[in-house]
Amino acid sequence: MPDSVQAMASMEAPVGAWSRVAQALSHPIRVVVVAFLAAILAGTALLMTPLAAASGDETGIVTALFTATSAVCVTGLVLVDTGTYWSGFGQGVILLLIQIGGLGIMTLASVLAVMIGRRIGVRASLLSGAEARRGHGAGMSARDIVVGVVRTSLLFEAVLALVLILRFSLSYDEPPARAAYLGVFHAVSAFNNAGFALWADNLERFALDPVVSLVIAGAIICGGLGFPVLWELRREWRRPRDWSLHTRITMTATVAILVVSTVVITLAEWGNDATIGSFPTPGKLLAGFFHAVNTRTAGFNSVPIGDLRSESLLASDLFMFIGAGSAGTAGGIKVTTFVLMGYIMWAELRGERHVIASRRTVPADVQRQALTVAFFAVTAIIVSTWVLLATSAFSLDVVLFEVVSAFGTVGLSTGITASLPTHGQLLLTVLMFVGRLGPLTVGASLALRTRPRRFEYPEERTIVG
pLDDT at 130: 42
The Cα–Cα gap between 55 and 341 comes to 50
pTM, full prediction: 0.84
Residues in the chain, pLDDT under 70: 1-29, 105-143, 145, 440-453, 455, 464
pLDDT at 161: 96
Beta strand residue intervals within 246-379, DSSP E: 356-357, 360-361
C-alpha pair distances (Å), 300 with each of 40, 45, 99, 191, 293: 22, 26, 17, 12, 9
Name beta bridge partners: 86: 53
Tell me: the pLDDT tens digits for 249-266?
Answer: 889 999 999 999 999 999
Residues 6+ away with beta carbon under 8 Å from 357 = 245, 249, 339, 340, 343
pLDDT at 322: 93
pLDDT at 243: 84
Phi, psi of 357 (to 5 degrees): -130, 115
Q: Is 357 helix (H, G, I), strand (E, B) or coil?
A: strand
Is there a contact between 209 and 186 (Cβ–Cβ < 8 Å)?
no
pLDDT at 17: 52
Name all contacts of 114-122 with Cβ < 8 Å and 24+ positions apart. 114/141, 114/142, 114/143, 114/146
